[in-house]
Structure 1
Amino acid sequence: MAISFARCFLSSVSVRSISSIAVSDSGSRLKVHLEVKGSVAKEYSSLWLRHNCQCEECYDSLSSMMKVHPNQLSEDIVIHKADIKDDVIRINWNSPNFGSHEGIIPLQWLKNLHMKQESRKDSKPLVAASIPVLEYSDVIDSDEHTYQWIRNLNYFGICLIENAPITTDVLEKLVGKFPHVQPTTYGNYPLLYAKDDPTDLGFSTSNLHFHQDLLYYESPPGIELFHCVRRDSCVVGGENIFLDFYPVLEELRQEAPQYFEVLTKVPVSFQRRHYMKNDVETPSDMSISRPHIQLDRYGEVAAVNWNTHHQEPVMLDDLDLLDSYYKAFLYMSRKIESSKYHLEHCLLPGQIIAFNNRRFLHSRNSFQLNGGFRNFHTTYVNIDYLRSQFLVLGKALGFNESPKNIFMSTL
């Protein structure tokens, strides 16, 4: 049923972000005309406004934490009166069960919420035609270049850093920009090298399929870094190939929507079972089940999960659904291998590649050591720090850019 708005309260001061407000006859709605890229009429429920009251009694501005307890709310809350003063909507709520409450809703707060919702439309990641490159000394010594590095990781999902020292503390200094490493069973800064009888194929000389790392974790790492500290001239092969999964999935959605849907429905388990003590990793037994593609409430990709090395057998009683899964799985695998978005790079000493492990797949060509060494220091950073540092550092530097909707960090 349509709600009529009869009482209108105009601002007593000049407010550029708003023109008027109106309370519905029932007091259950407040209509606000915001001037955000043109006049926008937004309608808010009385209960929502009461729940998000920004007065000192209801909200702690220093900690950005709400103090309103759900037990203070009631479905019969109505707006008794509302007006505007000093860029703030002042509201008097009334409830038969809880009495009255006088509180505030700042106009800028409403405007920021609206702009955040609108920014989602422009938050799709950008696809890099080549790997962006920065100098190590610039990123370490300059906040502006640190921001550019984090921006590249947020927008494009990958960035190469050149001319880094060949020392063991380099990644620790670089990750300090986020500011925390994500610990794993391999330690904080493991050395990746080829060894005899490895318990992980990453420590062999064989090729690796396109994959994401550590999908058997409840929260897989977000940013992954490889720092090449040694590659002897006698080493042949071992190039790394990176693939932005985002455009591949969008192609799949257009070309074969039935396969795309299957890959969002069928749960797949990823595991790591390793009981032998060694100098590479601690013993572990991990397993978690997720679809290859996970969507958010808007139908956008929120997460992807692809690692055929650690994938367990798909167990389905419905064999027709299993047949459909394998059709989709094989179609996706062929798209990955033949994609035009491959970015190949042979990492040399002093180079660091950082990429979004939630968004990018990576693979490795097999290699021959021929008596030499190919050694990388590696580490991981939680995905939440990428978006957080982009916003925090950007604000400190005076930039006003919106983050891209990277996987598992949706707006």
Structure 2
Amino acid sequence: MFKPMELRRLLIASIKFHRNAHKPLLGPLASQCSLRYMSCLQYTHTPSGSTSAKLDNHGKSLIVQANGEDSSYHSTWLRHNCQCPSCLAPSGQKTIDLSEITPSITLKSVALIDGRLNLFWSSGHHGYIQIDYLQTRRNLQQNADLSTPKTAIDLPVMSATGLTNDREKLWRWLYLLNEYGVCLLTNMGEVQEECKKLAETMYNVQDTVYGETFHVEAQEDFVNIAYSNQTLTFHMDLIYYESPPGLQILHCLRFDDCVEGGESVMLDMFPVVEELREKWPKHFKTLSRVPATFQKIHYEREKPVEMVSYCPHIQLDRYGKVVRMSWSPPFEGPLDVPKEDVIPYYEAYHCLAQMLDKSKLKLSHRLKPGEAMTFNNRRILHSRKHFTLNGGQRHLQGAYVNIDHFKSTYEVLCKQLGKTEVPIRRVFNVNSS
């Protein structure tokens, strides 16, 4: 039960909120919120009238009961996530005065009004949080396992016709990439720069040391073995970057019939890494602990490059889920670790290399002009078989999209098109979801 003075303060605060037109859920404030917060307010199930809330542990936590289940929220966490106009701008950015908050801050009172928790903290701040927002956070935690990607048995294929101006088709393409990590697009045409236009359905292309777009064709004086006719072993592109490219688009402009070899081979690294965890836990632990060296050092080019980075081949989140994988033997530098880690690292490294080489999950395809291989460079390894031109030509044009831009576009489309029941899979950008 609230004390009379506390209840009076809450009622006054509630009246002030309504006078300022900050209505609950679908009022003007919600219509101005950023899409990230709209996802919490607009696309979740509203708790039933049986929802209740009470203070616990002398105001250090809040117990919310909804749908017959109790959830506990710390008072400091609630203060940091207050959604009142003083704490949250219409853009979705926090404007909280951090000097007001201490880890010992407590709640003095709470009132559940119209699906919103009106809260009063010991610092004197009056604020609120939508019940739906808390329910969304709970659902995300409960459905964490839904972020586990699926592995393609056959190469997913769809037509690119109308993809750049049809949001449903764009969503379908990104859905396949999010689910399986790879998708072959047909009907792309044979005109240069189409891969750039396709990338720009999300955001700008990701510029790299190879430019906004790059051409993959055999050259005598190549700056990368990809620009030769040599075999390319399984790898990820530009892994020496702090943020390597996410989505990769390889558009086939020409692949003459007289060319022998040159097939593209794709492999989902995630299930192989999970198999390593199951069969060789010691090696899995080593590769998630010992940093490898990745580098691009090349001075004999128009714009010299020297990039070196260090990270384990496997990175885990606090729950032990794989959230990033790094594999690029052509761009590995000298191992730079303590002596006692050298042998365990190479034992684990070669074990994983053999598993990748022997995997039955490989997807091989000879690209045809007008096709584009699109894939998540943070998840799908790609390789190329040696080829002989025999007087012909093999010419691909490529472009990259930042991994966060890809995921952001997909999440936005899911919400805008009402695909809210579709799980969002991990994209291996070091985030758990």
**What's the TM-score, normalizing by structure 2?**
0.87
Tell me what 2:305 maps to.
284
| 2:390 maps to 1:370 | yes
- Matched with 1:321 is 341
Shift of residue 7 of structure 1? 7.6
CA gap of 1:15–1:388, structure 2 versus 1, over 3 A, is: closer
* Greater percentage in helix: 2
> Please, which of 169, 189, 192 is the counterpart of residue 193 of structure 2?
169
Alpha-carbon shift at residue 18 of structure 1 (Å): 5.3
Moved more, 111-120 or 298-307: 111-120
Judging changes above 3 Å, is the alpha-carbon distance between structure 1 residues 216 and 15 closer, same or farther for their aligned structure 2 residues? closer
Kept in 2: contact 1:33–1:40 (CA 8 A): yes
Counterpart of 2:206 in structure 1 is: 182
1:234-273 equivalences under 5 Å are 234-273=258-297
SS at match of 2:122: strand
Superposed CA deviations along residues 65-92 of structure 1, whole A, max 9, x for unmatched, are 1111321202332211111111111111
Who is 1:410 aligned against? Answer: 432
Where structure 1 has 5 or more consecutive residues not aligned to the other structure, the ranges are 1-5
- 1:310 maps to 331
Instruction: Point out the structure with the larger strand share.
Output: 1
- Residues 55 and 213 from structure 1, CA distance in 2 versus in 1: closer, same or farther, beyond 3 angstroms? same
Residues in 1 aligned to 2:165 and 2:103: alpha-carbon distance in whole angstroms: 54
CA distance in 2, matches of 1:78, 1:198: 64
Per-residue CA distance 1:145-188 (angstroms, 9 max, x = gap):
11000001111000011011111131122112112200011111
| 1:19 aligns with one of 41, 44, 51 | 51
Tell me which amino acid in the other structure corresponds to 1:78: T
Identity rate, percent: 35
- Worse-superposed segment, 183-192 or 70-79: 70-79
C-alpha distance in 2 between matches for 1:15 and 1:184:
47
Q: Which runs of 5 or more residues in structure 2 are unaligned?
A: 7-45
DSSP-derived class of the 2:425 partner: coil
Find the aligned partners of 1:154 and 1:272 in 2 and give their Cα distance. Answer: 29
What is the Cα deviation at residue 261 of structure 1?
0.4
The 2-side partners of 1:372 and 1:197 are apart by 18
Shift of 1:27: 1.3
Answer yes or no: is the 8 Å Cα contact 2:2–2:109 preserved in 1. Answer: no
Answer yes or no: is 1:91 the counterpart of 2:123: no
The residue type equivalent to 1:387 in the other structure is K
* Correspondence 1:80 to 2:108: yes
Q: Aligned pair in 2 of structure 1 residues 15, 242: CA closer, same or farther (>3 Å)?
A: closer
SS of the equivalent of 1:288 reads strand
Q: CA–CA distance in 2 between the matches of 1:138 and 1:214?
A: 31
CA distance in 1, matches of 2:87, 2:224: 52
Kindly state the Cα deviation for residue 367 of structure 1 after the two structures are TM-superposed.
0.4
* TM-score after normalising by structure 1: 0.91
Q: Secondary structure at the match of 1:66?
A: coil
Q: Distance in 2 between matches of 1:309 and 1:134?
A: 31
Letter in 2 for 1:410: S
Matched residue, 1:3: none
Partner of 2:248: 224
Q: Deviations over 1:345-385 (max 9, x none)?
A: 11110000100000011111100011111000001000001
1:128 Cα offset (Å): 0.6
CA RMSD between the two structures? 1.9
